[in-house]
């Protein structure tokens, strides 16, 4: 299936010299991390904290958590939360996908399904609402650690807790890749990404096809072929590779491309990014995985700041 390109390559590539100048001239050691990371930590705390003192009453799930349309059971029409993709008048883009039952998961036709329960609820007599969740570590917008495809790295403990936050945070380039094919060595060459650029988010046909919004897993997604991955490793300084579907590697080269990227343990792969409606160009990227000891994957919250 082919869809008309939504982000033609030419206007953006004309601006690339400007972007590169900005990358080279900016100081990658000073990411303005404070507010996004705090918000993320607070959010995680709310979702994950056991609140064990408060949960004595109920042990079964009586109420679903927030449904995908947010205003379901609210009694007061004024109490309708705002859900945003962009913050601060277009300065901050949320490039993480919202976790919903209908999001795609690897090779499934049914989507993620229920992943969140409310075993303790105020309605059931508990002092607080206290959700629990269960989902594959590689669901939605997520990160891969070296242990994902190298068992000796997995055994040695190269999990998501060992990933370098400096690589995951700093100046980044969002580029549109040619829409007709997978990311091969020729495609990488044509993108003309110079030395010095360390973080690149690749927007592909996957975004145009809105694959991350379809619950059926689609093997025809676009990703890196082995030669494209090899070209990137050998000819660029890219250490953060981001892509807009569940795998950076094309389905036909699934394991070979992952092996090429992860062998050195220097490159971090962020998959399932939400890159629609964000202009191509230079940003500060901020990605924070969970500190899941022993896990080769983790949900990750990523934002771009102009
Ligand atoms: Zn993954």
CA of 272 to the centre of ligand 1 (A): 8
Q: Which residue has the tokens 């059931």?
A: 124
pLDDT grade for 26, boundaries at 50, 70 and 90 = very low
Domains identified in the chain and CATH numbers: 142-305 (3.50.30.50)
CA of 141 to the centre of ligand 1 (A): 9
pLDDT grade for 51, boundaries at 50, 70 and 90 = very low
CA of 289 to the centre of ligand 1 (A): 12
Is the predicted pLDDT of residue 47 greater than 90, yes or no?
no
CA of 119 to the centre of ligand 1 (A): 29
What b/e readout covers 167-200, taking b as 16+ CB neighbours within 10 angstroms?
bbbbbbbbbbbbbeebbbbebbeebebeeebbbb
CA of 193 to the centre of ligand 1 (A): 24
Q: Identify the pLDDT of residue 180.
A: 83
Is the predicted pLDDT of residue 168 greater than 70, yes or no?
yes
Task: Give the pLDDT confidence of 69-78 residue by residue, as tens digits.
Answer: 444 455 667 8
The H or E element that residue 29 is part of is none
Is the predicted pLDDT of residue 212 greater than 50, yes or no?
yes
Rounded-to-integer distance, Cα 70 and Cα 127, Å: 23
Task: Give the pLDDT confidence of 263-289 residue by residue, as tens digits.
Answer: 999 999 999 999 999 999 999 999 999
CA of 255 to the centre of ligand 1 (A): 11
> Is residue 231 a contact partner of residue 260, using CB atoms and an 8 Å limit?
no
Rounded-to-integer distance, Cα 272 and Cα 2, Å: 20
> Is residue 200 a contact partner of residue 193, using CB atoms and an 8 Å limit?
yes
Q: Give the rounded percent of residues in the chain with a pLDDT score beyond 70.
A: 75
Q: Select the more confidently predicted residue: 49 or 146.
A: 146
Question: Residues 104, 107, 112, CA angle at the centre, nearest 5°?
Answer: 35
Is the predicted pLDDT of residue 19 greater than 50, yes or no?
no
CA of 138 to the centre of ligand 1 (A): 5
The residues, any chain, with a CB within 8 Å of residue 38's CB and separated by 6 or more, are: none
CA of 144 to the centre of ligand 1 (A): 5
CA of 78 to the centre of ligand 1 (A): 40
- Write the DSSP assignment of 126-184 as a string of letters: -SS-EEEE---TT-SSEEE-GGGT-HHHHHHT--GGGS-HHHHEEEEEEEEPPTTS-B-
The mean pLDDT value for 115-128 works out to: 96
CA of 157 to the centre of ligand 1 (A): 17
Full-model pTM: 0.77
- Strand, helix or coil at 113? coil
CA of 211 to the centre of ligand 1 (A): 16
């Amino acid at each position: 299936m082919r869809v008309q390109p939504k982000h033609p390559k030419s206007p953006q590539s004309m601006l690339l010299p400007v972007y590169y100048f900005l990358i080279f001239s900016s100081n990658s050691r000073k990411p303005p991390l404070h507010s996004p990371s705090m918000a993320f930590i607070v959010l995680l705390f709310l979702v994950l904290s056991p609140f064990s003192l408060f949960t004595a009453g109920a042990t079964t799930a009586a109420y679903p958590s927030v449904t995908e349309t947010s205003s379901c059971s609210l009694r007061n029409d004024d109490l309708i939360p705002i859900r945003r993709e962009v913050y601060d008048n277009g300065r901050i883009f949320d490039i993480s996908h919202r976790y919903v039952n209908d999001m795609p998961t690897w090779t499934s036709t049914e989507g993620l399904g229920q992943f969140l329960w409310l075993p303790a609820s105020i309605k059931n007599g508990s002092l607080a609402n206290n959700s629990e969740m269960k989902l594959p570590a590689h669901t939605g917008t997520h990160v891969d650690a070296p242990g994902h495809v190298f068992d000796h790295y997995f055994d040695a403990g190269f999990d998501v807790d060992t990933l370098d936050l400096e690589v995951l945070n700093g100046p980044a380039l969002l580029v549109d890749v040619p829409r007709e094919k997978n990311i091969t060595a020729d495609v990488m060459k044509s993108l003309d990404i110079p030395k010095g650029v360390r973080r690149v988010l690749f927007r592909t046909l996957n975004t145009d096809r809105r694959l991350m919004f379809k619950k059926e897993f689609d093997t025809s997604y676009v990703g890196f072929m082995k030669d494209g991955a090899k070209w990137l490793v050998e000819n660029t300084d890219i250490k953060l590779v981001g892509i807009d579907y569940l795998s950076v590697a094309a389905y036909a080269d699934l394991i070979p491309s992952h092996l090429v990227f992860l062998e050195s343990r220097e490159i971090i792969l962020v998959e399932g990014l939400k890159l629609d409606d964000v202009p191509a160009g230079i940003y500060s990227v901020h990605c924070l995985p969970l500190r899941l000891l022993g896990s080769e994957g983790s949900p990750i919250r990523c934002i771009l700041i102009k």
